Amino acid sequence: MGSFLPIAKANAKSSVGTRVSIRGWIYRTRSSGGLAFVVVRDATGIIQVTARKQALGEEGFTKFSSALIESSVEVTGTVAEDARAPGGFELRVEEARVIATAEPFPIFSGQTEEFQLDHRHLAIRSSDIVATLKVKAEVLRSARAFLDNNGYLEMTPPLLTGNAAEGGAEAFTLDYFGREAYLAQTAQLYLEALIFPLEKVYSITTSFRAEKSRTNRHLTEYTHLEVESAWAGLKENLELQEALVVQVCHDVAEHRPRELEALGRKPEELLALHAPFERIRYEQALERLASQGIEIPFGRDLGTNEERALTIDRKEPLFVTNYPAAIKAFYMLRTVEDERVVDGNDLLAPEGYGELIGASCRETRIDVLRSRLEHDGANMANYEWYLDLRRYGSVPHAGFGLGVERLVRWIGRREHIRDTTPFPRTPSRVTP
């Protein structure tokens, strides 16, 4: 057999009447008498393959038509129009080869979520997951392109660290040759160090959170896109976040429209997004919630219910700025006019999907950082290097962290965040 055509190209008008070879996996199969209809998929799409006993011979036909779904095959034939076939074209087989037969495939619809997760290494072949993974790859490609085009350099911060920057309680600890170390919850502190030589940096790394919370938006291991900019204030930080999110949404709509449709998201909804996103202060958010009958005292964090109430009827993301310092991380810069709150923000997805981004300007005063770290019970020795960044030519700076799976969950309208990652890690699951 000659070179292989991607199935999406074979299942197209331009291929009608031509002789092509494809290869992939059996997706559906049925036969009666001397005729078999076998739908084959590859990474690009599916095509109906029509095999006749006359064309393949007795033995070849029996082998091909009795191969179970997920068997791998190579097929050569001529493409013809057929309105009944998926996509409108079929491949009339001249040669067919079973590369490897499959045992009865254990995954089918109607099984429990647990069973599917136990067989995740096979379940990732299902069309919803495939569509989601294609969307996720486009999110990553687009975000990288956006940041590269805006002068940001991609960094590779460490994931083994002595600092539990987002609160010690939620860090995985490990024995590092007899010393206690952590799996990174954030690259932020390292990105802050890197702005001094490079000014505009970002990283896309795995962050780890030892959160026991079983919600549909928490993983214990997730993909964290983090950006840090020298000389940036709250305004510049907000503008970068919305420009990034808009660009990524437009790119996904443009490059993955079929996958979005399959997931229940209209590409036009993403194309309609534009900057600026609405900005409200935390205190305004409390007022909005009160008007909806949800009373939250100043100083309490906004949880899933509150974020949902604020965004359920929205079409665009919402910035909430100036949260109380007490409920945010030690490094957030106090707001000049109101020291109770910080120059930081969360970005909330529309339709109730919740927090996508956590962001802030960074505190530059050593005494403020030190007293907050002491208040949090941090091991000060581990943070001396970080305080050094304030001792040698500190500058105003700001950054943010975007949860890639959170973004994909909203874009792809997934019920659970585990549907956005091939091998989800949750408190109850670390295999397969």
Please give the residue ranges that form the binding site for ligand 4AD (CB under 6 A).
166, 186, 188, 209, 211, 218-219, 222, 224, 226, 355-359, 399-403, 405-406
For residues 209 and 265, which CB has a smaller minimum distance to ligand 4AD in the complex?
Answer: 209
Binding segment for Mg ion (CB under 5 A), chosen from 76-84, 158-166, 204-212, 355-363, is: 355-363
At its nearest, how many Å lie between ligand 4AD and the CB of residue 332? 9
Residues 6+ apart with CB under 8 A from 290: 296
Q: Does 354 bind Mg ion (CB under 5 A)?
A: no
Beta strand spans in 42-189 (E): 46-52, 72-81, 89-100, 153-154, 160-161, 173-176, 179-183
Q: Are 19 and 77 in contact (CB under 8 A)?
A: yes
Q: How far apart are CA 136 and CA 126, in angstroms?
A: 15
At its nearest, how many Å lie between ligand 4AD and the CB of residue 368? 17
At its nearest, how many Å lie between ligand 4AD and the CB of residue 226? 4
Binding partner at 70 among Mg ion, ligand 4AD, none, C-beta below 5 to 8 Å by kind? none
Binding segment for Mg ion (CB under 5 A), chosen from 85-93, 119-127, 259-267, 358-366, is: 358-366
Q: Are 39 and 66 in contact (CB under 8 A)?
A: no
Binding partner at 319 among Mg ion, ligand 4AD, none, C-beta below 5 to 8 Å by kind? none
Binding partner at 120 among ligand 4AD, Mg ion, none, C-beta below 5 to 8 Å by kind? none
For residues 265 and 397, which CB has a smaller minimum distance to ligand 4AD in the complex?
Answer: 397
Instruction: Output the six-digit token pair for 170.
Output: 């939620």
Residue 166 phi/psi, 5-degree rounding, is -100, 25
Q: Does 358 bind Mg ion (CB under 5 A)?
A: yes
Pairing state between β 160-161 and 179-183: antiparallel
Angstrom CA distances, 248 to 201, 219, 388, 411, stand at 18, 22, 36, 10
Binding segment for Mg ion (CB under 5 A), chosen from 5-13, 113-121, 209-217, 353-361, is: 353-361
At its nearest, how many Å lie between ligand 4AD and the CB of residue 403? 2
Burial class of 102 by CB neighbour count within 10 A (0 to 12, 13 to 18, 19+): middle
For residues 10 and 219, which CB has a smaller minimum distance to ligand 4AD in the complex?
Answer: 219
For residues 125 and 328, which CB has a smaller minimum distance to ligand 4AD in the complex?
Answer: 328
Which position's Cβ is nearest Mg ion? 358
User: What spatial distance separates the first Cα and last Cα of the chain, rounded to whole Å?
Assistant: 36
Radius of gyration from C-alpha coordinates of the chain = 26
Binding segment for Mg ion (CB under 5 A), chosen from 114-122, 123-131, 182-190, 352-360, is: 352-360
Instruction: Output the six-digit token pair for 351.
Output: 């339709």
For residues 157 and 358, which CB has a smaller minimum distance to Mg ion in the complex?
Answer: 358
Tokens 């095959």 correspond to what residue?
Answer: 73
How far out from the chain centre does Cα 348 lie? 15
Burial class of 407 by CB neighbour count within 10 A (0 to 12, 13 to 18, 19+): buried
Q: How far apart are CA 231 and CA 396, in angstroms?
A: 5
Q: Are 188 and 165 in contact (CB under 8 A)?
A: yes
For residues 36 and 359, which CB has a smaller minimum distance to ligand 4AD in the complex?
Answer: 359
At its nearest, how many Å lie between Mg ion and the CB of residue 218? 11
Q: Does 344 bind Mg ion (CB under 5 A)?
A: no
Instruction: Output the six-digit token pair for 234.
Output: 């709250």
Instruction: Output the six-digit token pair for 325.
Output: 């310092």
Binding partner at 218 among Mg ion, ligand 4AD, none, C-beta below 5 to 8 Å by kind? ligand 4AD
Binding segment for Mg ion (CB under 5 A), chosen from 222-230, 296-304, 327-335, 350-358, is: 350-358
Binding partner at 152 among Mg ion, ligand 4AD, none, C-beta below 5 to 8 Å by kind? none
Binding partner at 222 among ligand 4AD, Mg ion, none, C-beta below 5 to 8 Å by kind? ligand 4AD
For residues 101 and 382, which CB has a smaller minimum distance to ligand 4AD in the complex?
Answer: 382
For residues 358 and 424, which CB has a smaller minimum distance to Mg ion in the complex?
Answer: 358
Q: How far apart are CA 150 and CA 19, in angstroms?
A: 46
Q: Does 317 bind Mg ion (CB under 5 A)?
A: no
At its nearest, how many Å lie between ligand 4AD and the CB of residue 265? 19
Beta strand spans in 200-343 (E): 200-208, 221-230, 278-281, 318-321, 334-335, 338-342
- Other CB atoms within a 10 A radius of the CB of residue 193 amount to 18
Residues that bind Mg ion (CB under 5 A): 358
